[in-house]
Structure 1
């Protein structure tokens, strides 16, 4: 006769058995992850590699700056050897600037077009899954991953750039290399191009064609954005009233400020401004030129500039515009897709 020292193992209740497990995706969420896992893992891997590279390069730059004296680290006084570090920073910012292109062409365009082309969309929506749920899931999961990736890259790049952004004029914050890849801008820009790609794919229903068309639209958006980016800021002026003759100094811009307009202007006693070419055609005689300027009551120089203190405000304003357009496109995709998708 056998004696049991403990009770036989009994299957645990279903609720208790599942409580200790990590919840798994199901339904449309599982399908989206399964379909696009290659793109998702590629995005994650590229993000990790970029973060590691930026951390290493920033460490090298900070080691170099630590060898300099405090006087050399003042604005505009960095030695020529620093150029290789600024070139690395600018080059990496340029590479990160391709994130919106990748988001629109390789993540957004095939998202819905691939399912429509292969018939997966018809199969999914013929089951118990509604078109609204399917479209929402298709957009939400890649968008969430894209936001996370763009935010991490922007934060690390901003951390790299911050110690030197006002130390040298080689790293102009108004350029897309820095303005578009720091702060909130990468998130908003990537979401905009992603939504554009999704909308194009839904309308064209062919993956390759959608990718090509999306590329053209994203390039056009970039051209327009580069043209109007600086219009988001408020241009300020700085002037002098010590004359414009030999020995007269030009106005000094604040640290990190970027000069705007056509250059320097003549400032008159009434507060008006004249182009610097004024009186150049009068005569080669310097006295005649001076007399001409005096007749126009020129008392000094004036320059227009954008201060770096406006950068965050301009970024949030630009991001707000992009996110508004993104929301409108996403609403169009969902509303149009509920009625005419298949």
Structure 2
């Protein structure tokens, strides 16, 4: 059986970018394994598994400090989709136009649209596979930390589950479209990276908190924590007369009464607006849904653009 037309040239042209992406993800996976083993060793040494759910604050704080030290680098994984879109998606067509080789590529018995679909299927499928595998390793890595910081926490959320794969497809398709329209590799890369940063923060601050109605909890000051298992969307303190205090007001009150043993913080109440950790997979599905839908729309837009401006 003969291979699909355009598959071998696509591999030859883009194997460097694809293999580099795989190598970077493998290196990050090794880092996950090494730090994950250390985090698990600390988890066992502190006896957290044995004491659950009645671990002391000292045990949890000690584990949180070590886990943060070994896993601080993981927050930068949110940049991965943008980088993959910049270096794999953006040059896909932009480099052909920039070098003038599109005239040869589009006249080899295969239409520009079919060639594009072949490229997208090969490279997009490869990126989907490796990012899903990486997210599975990250899920294993984060499991002990989920005891003190839920999976809905913004930074780890973006490397866990299916979000990373969907976001990578989004950035890859966006890069392909930017390259087709702009026809300049560097410019298409810049547009792709900037667009991902904008989308990332728009999703984090504007969209995701509205996936489901946040729950409201009331606790004494110092009770249900801001760094606990739920994703805290907002929190505030109410004084004994029922007035909501700003952060500056509350900090000033705490500073004023520092060392005053007669001052009772119980007179002040903390209200917390939060998303429970049980919503992790439903949030992941919603995020993956709209990101994948936009990726498909970008591919269709690129096909339309190639039909409108084939040369």
Which interval holds the TM-score relative to the shorter structure?
0.7 to 0.9
1:57 corresponding residue in structure 2: 35
User: RMSD of the alignment, in Å?
Assistant: 3.0
Of 40, 52, 77 in structure 2, the residue corresponding to residue 96 of structure 1 is: 77
Q: Distance in 2 between matches of 1:267 and 1:253?
A: 20
Closer/same/farther in 2, CA of residues 66 and 260 from structure 1, 3 Å limit? same
Q: Distance in 2 between matches of 1:135 and 1:113?
A: 12
1:232 corresponding residue in structure 2: 211
1:203 aligns with 2:185: no
1:19 corresponding residue in structure 2: none
Deviation at 1:132, TM superposition (A): 2.1
Deviation at 1:315, TM superposition (A): 1.6
Deviation at 1:176, TM superposition (A): 3.5
Secondary structure at the counterpart of residue 90 of structure 2: helix
2:282 corresponding residue in structure 1: 313
Deviation at 1:82, TM superposition (A): 4.8
2:296 corresponding residue in structure 1: 327
Larger radius of gyration, structure 1 or 2?
Answer: 1
Of 119, 131, 134 in structure 2, the residue corresponding to residue 138 of structure 1 is: 119
Deviation at 1:191, TM superposition (A): 0.9
Gaps of 5+ in 2: 254-266
Secondary structure at the counterpart of residue 171 of structure 2: helix
- Give the total of aligned pairs: 288
The alignment's TM-score, normalised by the length of structure 2, stands at: 0.81
Of 196, 215, 226 in structure 1, the residue corresponding to residue 193 of structure 2 is: 215
Deviation at 1:302, TM superposition (A): 4.0
Q: Distance in 1 between matches of 2:56 and 2:111?
A: 59
1:164 corresponding residue in structure 2: 145
Preserved contact between residue 150 and residue 277 of structure 2 (Cα < 8 Å):
no
Deviation per residue, 1:210-250 (Å, 9 max, x gap): 2222222222222322322323242112236xxxxxxx677
Deviation per residue, 1:248-282 (Å, 9 max, x gap): 677646961233324234799xxxx75247xx9xx
Higher helix share: 2
The alignment's TM-score, normalised by the length of structure 1, stands at: 0.75
Matches within 5 A, 1:9-28: 25=3, 27-28=5-6
1:257 aligns with 2:230: yes
Q: Distance in 2 between matches of 1:98 and 1:322?
A: 15
